[in-house]
Amino acid sequence: MKKLIFVFLLGIATMYCSCDRQQDTLIGTWIVDKVNVQFNEKHNTPELVKQIGEMERQNSFSINADSLLTFKGLDTEWQGKINLKSDGSLICNGANFGLWEEGRIVTRTGSPLGEIVVTYRKK
């Protein structure tokens, strides 16, 4: 019985440490690695798609040890608490911020014009 309790507690401790390490990998400054503007080109000009992509490349954010995310865009700056879920989703202030995928953070923004997918890498 003691062995079973020990194994159970060891499993819980391992899961707890694993979650902390994942959260620790988020700490730092993140910059745009890739932008994919998925707009219907029949309704938008190539110049508009290019301009939006260039605007998105100006974005960056940092995450500190207290899980505070500070986002800086071309004309905007905001802060919020970020949380990494077990499925890789990132939740900031109760809303979906993006996905943690193999050391990258991928965000998706939808609009009436289409979708913008931005991949961030750690600086």
Q: Give a three-class secondary structure readout of 38-52.
A: EECCCCCCHHHHHHH
Which tokens belong to 119?
């991949």
- The enclosing domain of 99 has a CATH number of 2.40.128
The model's pTM: 0.79
Expressed as residue numbers, the domain containing 64 is: 2-122
Give residues with Cβ within 8 angstroms of 118, minimum separation 6: 32, 34, 35, 36, 56, 59, 106, 107, 109
Q: What is the DSSP letter of 59?
A: -
Query: What's the rounded mean pLDDT across residues 90-109?
Result: 97
pLDDT digits (tens, 9 = 90+) for 7-62: 343 344 334 434 455 568 999 999 999 999 999 877 788 899 999 999 999 999 99
Q: What is the pLDDT of residue 102?
A: 92
Q: Look at the chain and report how many structural domains it folds into.
A: 1
